[in-house]
């Protein structure tokens, strides 16, 4: 539960800044990649601890690096179609709470190897076994995007989200 205290405080603050009654929130979509050790239904935990209604449907989305963006896109679609009028969406992580994994079953001769949950479930490509940072560098090289251009873009999109409210 303590894993999401910051997330629920931020969710509560966002709802307050928007001037919305928490009971008016019709649905919550939250992106979350590294869910191990978070407990069940992280989006629901955050919503309930933020004071939203127990009847508010909550969905946790895992699209790896795009989880938060996918949550926002799904909420936008719901709003555009008129399915909902008031939603909360975003992304949340608690990387410091991700455990090391230990395989279940009998211990083989020589012991077992711990697996870093952050590296395994968050930062390593499941298909090529390449670190995600390297995937970004490989893509930049393939697309002829210089380090300077990457830094300039990062500076341009580094928007303080508190300004959006």
Residues contacting residue 22 through CB under 8 Å, at least 6 positions apart: 12, 15, 50, 51, 52, 53
Does the domain made of 2-96 have the CATH classification 3.40.47.10?
A: yes
Q: What is the pLDDT of residue 164?
A: 43
CA atoms within 13 A on the CB side of 41: 11
**Domain spans, the chain:** 2-96, 100-157
pTM score: 0.82
24-45 residue pLDDT tens: 999 999 999 999 999 999 999 9
């Amino acid at each position: 539960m303590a894993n999401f205290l910051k997330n629920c405080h931020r969710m509560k603050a966002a709802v307050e800044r928007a001037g919305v009654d928490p009971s008016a929130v019709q649905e919550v979509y939250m992106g979350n990649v590294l869910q191990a050790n978070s407990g069940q239904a992280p989006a629901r935990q955050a919503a309930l601890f933020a004071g939203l209604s127990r009847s508010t449907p909550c969905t946790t989305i895992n699209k790896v690096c795009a989880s938060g963006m996918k949550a926002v896109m799904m909420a936008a679609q719901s709003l555009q179609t008129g399915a909902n009028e008031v939603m909360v969406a975003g992304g949340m992580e608690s990387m410091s709470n991700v455990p090391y994994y230990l395989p279940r079953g009998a211990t083989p001769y020589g012991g077992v190897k711990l697996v870093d949950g952050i590296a395994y479930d968050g930062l390593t490509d499941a298909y090529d076994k390449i670190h995600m940072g390297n995937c970004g560098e490989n893509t930049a090289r393939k697309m002829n995007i210089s380090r300077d251009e990457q830094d300039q873009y990062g500076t341009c999109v580094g928007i303080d989200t508190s300004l959006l409210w």
